[in-house]
A and B are shown apart, each in its own frame.
Chain A
Amino acid sequence: MSAVVSAAGCLAANDWICGEYVRSRAQELTDATVEHVWITAVSVLIGLVVAFPLALLVRARPRFAAPVLGLTTVLYAIPSLAMFSLLLPLFGLSAALVVTGLVLYSLTILVRNILAGLASVPEEAREAARGMGYGPGRLLWEVELPLALPAVMAGVRMATVSTVALTTVGALVDHGGLGTLITTGLKSFFKAQVLTASVLCVLLAVTADLLLLALQRFLTPWTRPARTPGTLIRKAG
Chain B
Amino acid sequence: MGAVTEAWTWLTTGANWQGESGVWHRLAEHLWFSGVCLVVSCLIALPLALWLGHIGRGGALAVNISNAGRAVPTLAVLVLLTLTPLGRQGALPTIIALVLFAVPPLLTNAYVGMREVDRSVVEAARGMGMSGGQVFARVELPLAYPMVMTGLRSATVQVIATATLAAMAGEGGLGRIITAGFNRNDTAQVVAGALVVGALALLAEGLLVAVGRAFDPMRATRRAH
Contact present for A79 and B79 (CB under 8 Å): no
Contact (A168, B73) CB under 8 Å given A81-B164, A233-B154, A235-B158:
yes
Contact (A77, B161) CB under 8 Å given A82-B197, A85-B178:
yes
Interface string of B131-161 (1 = CB under 8 A from A): 0000000000000000000110010011011
A80 within 8 A of B: yes
Shortest CB-to-CB span from B201 to chain A, Å, is: 5
A43 within 8 A of B: no
* Bound complex: CA A81 to CA B150 (Å): 24
Contact (A161, B70) CB under 8 Å given A81-B178, A171-B168, A232-B154:
yes
From B71, B76, B195, give the contact of A161 (CB < 8 A): B71
Contact present for A82 and B83 (CB under 8 Å): no
Contact (A88, B168) CB under 8 Å given A198-B73, A232-B66, A236-B158:
no
* Bound complex: CA A28 to CA B76 (Å): 18
B86 within 8 A of A: no
* Bound complex: CA A164 to CA B72 (Å): 9
* Bound complex: CA A201 to CA B70 (Å): 12
Contact (A179, B202) CB under 8 Å given A85-B191, A171-B168, A186-B82:
no
B contact residues around A234 at 8 Å (CB) = 66, 69-70, 104-105, 158
A191 within 8 A of B: yes
State the main secondary structure of chain B at its contact with A. Answer: helix
From B108, B157, B194, give the contact of A77 (CB < 8 A): B157
B29 within 8 A of A: no
Total A residues in contact with B, Cβ cutoff 8 Å: 44
Give the residues from 155 to 201 in chain A that come closer than 8 angstroms, CB to CB, to chain B: 158, 161-162, 164-166, 168-169, 171-172, 179, 182-183, 185-186, 189, 191, 194-195, 197-198, 201
B contact residues around A161 at 8 Å (CB) = 67, 70-71
Contact (A168, B70) CB under 8 Å given A85-B190, A234-B158, A235-B158:
no
A contact residues around B77 at 8 Å (CB) = 198
Shortest CB-to-CB span from B162 to chain A, Å, is: 4
A contact residues around B105 at 8 Å (CB) = 232-234
Contact present for B162 and A158 (CB under 8 Å): no
Contact present for A186 and B170 (CB under 8 Å): yes
* Bound complex: CA A209 to CA B179 (Å): 32
A206 within 8 A of B: yes
Contact (A232, B112) CB under 8 Å given A77-B205, A168-B75, A169-B75:
yes
What 5 A-B pairs come out closest when comparing CB atoms? A89-B3, A79-B161, A198-B76, A236-B162, A82-B194
Interface CB pairs A-B, < 8 A, 12: A77-B198, A77-B202, A78-B202, A81-B167, A168-B76, A183-B79, A186-B83, A198-B73, A198-B77, A205-B71, A234-B105, A236-B161
A residues neighboring B (CB under 8 Å): 74, 77-83, 85-86, 88-89, 158, 161-162, 164-166, 168-169, 171-172, 179, 182-183, 185-186, 189, 191, 194-195, 197-198, 201-202, 205-206, 209, 232-237
B residues neighboring A (CB under 8 Å): 2-4, 66-67, 69-77, 79-80, 82-83, 101, 104-105, 108-109, 112, 150-151, 154, 157-158, 160-162, 164-165, 167-170, 175, 178-179, 181-182, 187, 190-191, 193-195, 197-198, 201-202, 205
Given contacts A85-B181, A233-B154, 20 further A-B contacts (CB under 8 A): A78-B198, A79-B161, A80-B161, A81-B164, A82-B201, A85-B190, A85-B193, A85-B194, A86-B198, A89-B2, A179-B73, A179-B76, A182-B73, A183-B79, A186-B82, A198-B73, A202-B72, A202-B73, A232-B108, A236-B75
